[in-house]
Amino acid sequence: MLIKDLRISVKKPVTFYVLRLTILVSLILITFFSKGQEIFYHISNITVYDFLDEMANVQLIDLNTAIKPYSRKFIASKLHELEGKKDILNPRQLNDLEFFLKDFNKELKPDKNFKKRFDIFYYKDSLFTFSINPILGIRYWTNDNGSATHWWNGAEAFAYIGRHIGLYASLRDNHDKEFLSDPAYLNQRPGANYKGNGDYSEMRGGITWSWKWGSLGLVKDHFMWGNNYNGANIFSGRTPSFAQIYLNMKPVKWFEFRYVHCWLVSEVVDSSRSYWYSNSYGTNYREVYHPRYLAANLFTFTPFKRLNVSFGNSIIYADLGVFPTYLIPLAFFKSIDHTVNHGIDNMNSQLFFDISSRQIKHLHLYGTLFLDELSTSRMFDKERHSNFWSWKIGGKLSNLPLKNFSVTAEYTRTNPLTFQHNVPTLRFESNRYNLGHYLKDNDQEIYLALEAKPIRGLWIQLSYLSAKKGPDYDSLGGDRLGLPFLETIEWENKTFSIKARYEIINDGFAFAKYRYSNITGDVNKYTHPLWYGKTSTFSMGVNFGF
C-alpha cells in the first residue's frame, strides 16, 4: 500500500517532467539541421489531394497516400516537381498546376513576385511569412422529407518564423438548422459537438518545428491513416479535432515514420472527481470526464519504386495519466501494456497494415487491414471463431483509356465488435465518434465511382454505394466470441449520386449534388430523418476556405 501510494503521488510530476524533457531535447537536437517549415493543409480541402493522387497514379510523382494531412511545404515540393514535367501534362492538368501554384508558390518563392491567389492579407520577408483569410460557406438540402441548412463562418491564418517554426490556426463557427451529425449516424459527415441549438465550433491549429527530414509539433487537428477513396478504416479523421503531439521522420527515400500521442475526449463522467458547488446562482453539480489517450505509430517502407508497405500499432489507454512508456515513438504498445497492466485487464490495443502500389501506370491498387483483436488459437474454431478486424481493398484507374477520367472500385468489410470495447473509458472513440471506419462494426460496403475533370477546377462524379450493417452485438450483450458476420441485415443504404464542384478561385467553390437513396432497416438509430426511406435529395452551396 505504501508503494502504491508513493507511485500515485509522484506519477503526475514525473510524467510532466519526462514529457517536457523529451520535447526539449528533441528541439535542441533538430536545431542543428537545415531549414524547413510545416503547416498542415486540412484533409477537407480535397482538390489538391486529388490532383496529387492523379499525378502519382500516372507516375509523374511518388506519393505516400497512407498518411494525411500533408504539409503545405510537402505539397509545394510536389507541385515544383511537376513544373519540370509540364511538357508531359495535358492542357487541363497544366492549368490545374498553374492554378495551385498561385497558392503554394508562397512556400517556393523567396518573395511575393509571382502570380498570387486572392488573400485578405499576405506578408513575406526574409524572416516572417503571414497569411490570413476568412472562412464562409452555406449548404442547403431538400427532399420530400424536408430540408436542412448548414452555414459556417470564421477565419484561418498561418505563419512561418525563421527557418524552422510554423504556426497555424483555424476557427470556424457552424450553424445547423437540423442536427445532421450524431455519433450513431452512419455517414461521413464530420463530428459535431452541438451546444444545444444547432451551433457548434471547431478550432484547429498548432505550432511545429521542422528540419530537413522531419518535424515535431503540438497541434489540434484531424488526421487520416489508411489508403481509401470513400472512408479510411484505420483512422478516418471524422471525429471532432483533438490535441496531439506528432513526430514525422523521413531520413531516406525508402522509409517514413509517423507517431502521434493524442488527448481524446471520453465523455465518460468520473464521479470521483465530479463535485457539487454553491454560489449566488444556486447549487450545481460539476461533472468531470475521465481522461482518454491514444498513442499510435506507422512505419512505411518503399522496397520498390511506387510500392509503399506500411504497418503500425496503437493503444487507447486511461487511468494512468500521460504515461511515459507510451511516449516512446517506436514502441509496440501491446507488449508494454502486458507489463504495465500485468495481472489485470489490459488497455485497448490495435495493429494495422496498409499496402499501396502504383507500379502499373495509371492504376492505383491498395489494401488496408485493421486488427482490433487476433487469436490464432480460435481462428479455425467453428464455435468461437471471432477475430475482430476490418479490411479494405480497392483500385483507381486514372486517365486510361480516356484523359481526364477515372474509375474507382472499393470494398470494405468489418467483422462484429471491431472498433468496440466493453470498458467505456477505453473505447476507440473521441467525443463518442468512432476513430475508425464510419460504418463501425459488422458491416460491408461496396463503392463505385466514375469521375471526370473536363476543364480546370471542374470535377464531376457519378457514384454508387451499397452499405449493409448487421446486429449491434455490443448493445445486445452476451458472448463476444463466435458471432456471425451479417447474420441479419439491420440497416441498409443503397445510394446513387451525381456531384459537381467548381473551384472558382483558390479555396472558393460552388457545388451541387443529386442523390437518390433507399435507406431501410433501423433508420431511427442510424440515420437522420431527412434521409429515411426512398428519397431524391438535391443539395447545393458555396464556400470560401476550410
Interacting residues of 326 by C-beta distance below 8 A, sequence separation 6+: 261, 293, 295, 315, 317, 333, 336
Phi and psi angles of residue 14, each rounded to the nearest 5 degrees, phi first: -60, -45
Instruction: Supply the pLDDT for residue 373.
Output: 80
Helix axes 72-83, 91-108, angle to 10 degrees: 130
CA dihedral 181, 182, 185, 187 (to 10 degrees): 30
E-assigned strands of 470-532? Answer: 491-505, 508-521
Question: How far, in Å, CA of 466 to CA of 358, rounded?
Answer: 27
Question: How far, in Å, CA of 432 to CA of 518, rounded?
Answer: 27
CA dihedral 20, 24, 26, 27 (to 10 degrees): 140
Helix axes 46-57, 91-108, angle to 10 degrees: 120
CA nearest to 229, candidates 361, 68, 420: 68
Distances (CA, A) of 296 to 235, 247, 319, 324: 10, 11, 18, 14
Beta bridge partners of 206: 168, 219
User: What SS3 class is residue 397?
Assistant: strand
Question: How far, in Å, CA of 52 to CA of 70, rounded?
Answer: 11
E-assigned strands of 214-360? Answer: 214-221, 224-225, 242-252, 255-269, 275-279, 282-286, 289-304, 307-317, 348-357
Beta bridge partners of 169: 157, 205
Question: How far, in Å, CA of 420 to CA of 146, rounded?
Answer: 34
The DSSP call for residue 404 is: T
Cβ atoms of 333 and 326 closer than 8 Å: yes
Distances (CA, A) of 143 to 500, 514, 531, 535: 18, 10, 8, 6
Own/partner long-range contacts of 53-57 (Cβ < 8 Å, ≥24 apart): 53/364, 53/396, 53/398, 54/93, 54/398, 54/399, 54/406, 55/82, 55/93, 56/306, 56/358, 56/364, 57/358, 57/362, 57/363, 57/364, 57/396, 57/397, 57/398, 57/399, 57/406
**Single-letter amino acid code for the residue at 130:** F
Question: How far, in Å, CA of 470 to CA of 473, rounded?
Answer: 9
Q: Which helix (H) or strand (E) holds 364?
A: strand 363-373
Instruction: Supply the pLDDT for residue 180.
Output: 96
CA nearest to 471, candidates 425, 417, 508: 417
**Single-letter amino acid code for the residue at 283:** T
Pick the CATH number of 33-544 from 3.40.50.800, 3.30.1490.190, 2.40.160.130, 3.30.830.10: 2.40.160.130
The series of mean pLDDT values per 10 residues for the chain, 546 residues long, is 35 47 48 65 96 98 98 97 96 98 96 93 95 98 97 98 96 96 96 93 97 97 98 97 98 97 97 95 95 98 98 97 96 95 92 98 98 70 74 98 97 96 96 98 98 98 98 86 93 98 98 98 97 98 95
Question: How far, in Å, CA of 480 to CA of 416, rounded?
Answer: 9
Instruction: Supply the pLDDT for residue 36.
Output: 62
Read off the C-alpha cell for 5.
501510494
Omega before 69 within 30 of 0, i.e. cis: yes
Domain spans of the chain?
Answer: 1-32, 33-544
Judged on CB neighbours under 10 Å (0-12, 13-18, 19+), 480 is: middle
Beta bridge partners of 136: 153, 544
Look at the chain and count its residues.
546
Instruction: Supply the pLDDT for residue 2.
Output: 32
Beta bridge partners of 461: 451, 499
Question: How far, in Å, CA of 322 to CA of 324, rounded?
Answer: 7
Question: How far, in Å, CA of 17 to CA of 333, rounded?
Answer: 21
The DSSP call for residue 87 is: G
Helix axes 46-57, 72-83, angle to 10 degrees: 40
Give the number of other CB atoms < 10 A from CB of residue 546. Answer: 20
